[in-house]
Amino acid sequence: MQKKINSFVVSDKFDTKIYQFLSGKYKTTLYKDILFVTVDVEQYIVLFKYGVYTCWNISYENLEFFQNEIKSFLINPLEECAEEKFKYILEDEFKIIYDKFLLDNDSERLKIAISSALAQNAKLSQFETKVENTIEENSIIPQNLAKYGKISLSKKEIAKKIGELFLVKSQINLQYDLLDTPEFFWEYPEYEKYYNSISKYLDITPRVEVLNKKVEVIQELLDVLSNEQNHKYSSFLEWIIIILIFIEIIMGLYEFLK
């Protein structure tokens, strides 16, 4: 029988108190910072510290109840959670066919291995959307520079833009390590092949490389804005010096003509 897997990105990360809270309400197993939650018979949730969880065959009622329960543990929750859907069935051999996973066993650790790749995929999608939106929103900066030779923003507006761009860049850099191979496989290397297969199917490695290139574009925008900010400040100082010299000349002429 075909069953469903749903991945949800709900926040930047979870408050660590969520582990203790869920352990008091459900049967749970903690693997380093990955929490495996048994919600009901053949209904499971795998929760990751970076604001993502994957649901295995969860009913709508149980999912809605779970989502309401964890709201207070979300750090920087998203305005609208992102969801990705897959299917799975049990077969004699592990395969992937058009977003459907054929699993050769139904173990808890296999679910964690597959969930790790799906959670990374969901978080990577969040990063990709954030970076693409940031680049699009600031595309006027290089356009103005090419057309007018300057950026038509005040010093305050430039400072705000630098802050916005730096925030996006730092948020991705600070969470970038979550795209590495999870520590879970140090203890259970026999399950890494499943994780690698899903990661390859979802193009995670090439997408990370593209994301890196886009983050470099944000860095270039930061450099352009920083240079413009320095230029405006230098121009301001130059005008102050010119005005002071002018005042000194006027005062000198006044003294000379007295």
Q: CATH no. for residue 51?
A: 3.30.310
The verdict on 132 and 248 lying in the same domain is yes
- Are residues 143 and 98 part of one domain? no
Per-residue pLDDT 10s for the chain (258 aa) are 789 999 999 998 899 999 999 999 999 999 988 999 999 999 999 999 999 999 999 999 999 999 999 999 999 898 888 889 999 999 989 999 988 999 988 899 999 999 999 999 998 888 888 888 888 877 777 777 667 666 666 667 777 777 777 777 777 766 666 778 888 999 999 999 999 999 999 998 888 888 878 877 777 777 766 666 555 555 555 556 666 666 666 666 656 566
pLDDT of residue 219: 74
Of 16, 40, 13, which is closest to residue 27 (Cα–Cα)?
A: 40
Q: Which domain holds residue 200?
A: 128-257
The total number of structural domains in the chain stands at 2
| Same domain as 139, residue 239 | yes
146 and 240 share one domain: yes
Residue 107 CA from chain centroid, whole number: 29
| Predicted local confidence at residue 170, as pLDDT | 73
Task: Report which DSSP code applies to 181.
Answer: P
Assigned domain for 245 exists: yes
Cβ neighbours of residue 73 closer than 8 Å, sequence gap 6 or more? 14, 15, 17, 18, 21
> Do 167 and 79 fall into the same domain?
no
What's the predicted TM-score (pTM) here?
A: 0.80
Q: Clarify whether residues 81 and 196 are in a common domain.
A: no
- Residue 147 belongs to some domain of the structure: yes
**76 and 148 assigned to the same domain:** no
The answer to the question of residue 30 being in a domain is yes
Per-residue confidence (pLDDT) for residue 226, from 0 to 100: 66
Residues 56 and 39: their CA atoms lie apart, in Å, by: 10
